[in-house]
Amino acid sequence: MITVFGSINLDLVVAVPRLPTAGETVSGRDHQTFSGGKGANQALAARRAGAEVRMVGAVGRDSFADPALENLRAAGVDLSGVRALEGSTGLALIGIDRQGENQIIVASGTNARVEAGWLDGVLGAGETLVMQGEVPYGELSGAAERARRAEASVFWNPAPVPAGDIAACLEASATLVVNESEAAVIAVGLGIAAADPEAFAERLAGAGRAVVVTLGAGGVLARSGNARYRFAAPKIEAVDTTGAGDAFCGALAAALDRKVPFERALKEGVAAGALACTVTGAQSSAPRKEDIDRFADRVV
């Protein structure tokens, strides 16, 4: 069982010929609305990858709440841990260029008011707690401590990287997933001289902790104990990269939760991330388990 403790947003997406620079306006023909938020994205991705998933988070009492939860509800994610608070549902404003690259501005809304205490009595031994970085760090560290007490495994994707000392969540994480930029930020914060992804993974991986660094089109590298892994990204025609990282995390977490060997779990994550780039939308792009399984066989 996977419990996702994280953000829930509604995404407003505009396709543009190129991403704007500071102070510049770039026009797109139309806009689309998608359910989003890194927490919700990873919850849906894990569910589509075959896991039983519950979501713990918050939405506002506004017109954005229902569409933000629509995909999770339809997929059968347990929403009993989602609370409706006074205020606004989180909102993301996303521009996507012709190469599928994006720029994102997020209004946190009720995501800034989630509480680790909502996890009390929720987590069980052998289960997985999945977290990101779009809710307050103090609540993330509290959630990680509750997972430790419940003997649940912590899967942390610190995106974005919280400000300040993040040692508590790093130490609690059984699986840490970052991209190259996040790895560099964490390395600086920890005083690690070498921000090279290989060196970063080697430095932070330890007994009981795997470290994964996603490299975009360059694939993924990872360290688990003394074992090293490196897989290339499958060749695809990218349409929208918005949900790729979340699809990777959801599929990887789902595979690890069902005790798949780490190497195979990584391949399933890579496959899911690549497939997500071929469809527009952070949640609509999350692939199904049968497609992940088939594509993972091609990851080398």
**Mind telling me the catalytic residues?**
246
| Token pair belonging to 267 | 């391949």
Q: DSSP secondary-structure letter at 13?
A: E
Q: Give me the phi and psi of 134, to 5 degrees please.
A: -100, 10
Beta strands in 20-169 (DSSP E): 31-36, 53-60, 78-85, 90-96, 102-107, 128-131, 153-156
Q: Is 287 helix (H, G, I), strand (E, B) or coil?
A: coil
CA distance 243 to 276: 6
**Could you tell me the strand order of the sheet in which 153-156 lies?**
78-85, 53-60, 2-5, 128-131, 153-156, 173-179, 210-214, 220-224, 227-231
Taking the C-alpha atoms of residue 207 and residue 188, their distance in angstroms, rounded to an integer, is 23
Pair of tokens at residue 39: 């927490």
Q: Return the axis-axis angle of helices 262-276 and 289-296, rounded to nearest 10°.
A: 110
CA 104 – CA 242 distance, rounded (Å): 9
**Which of 159, 121, 114, 160 is closest to 138 using CA atoms?**
114
Q: How far apart are CA 74 and CA 216, in angstroms?
A: 30
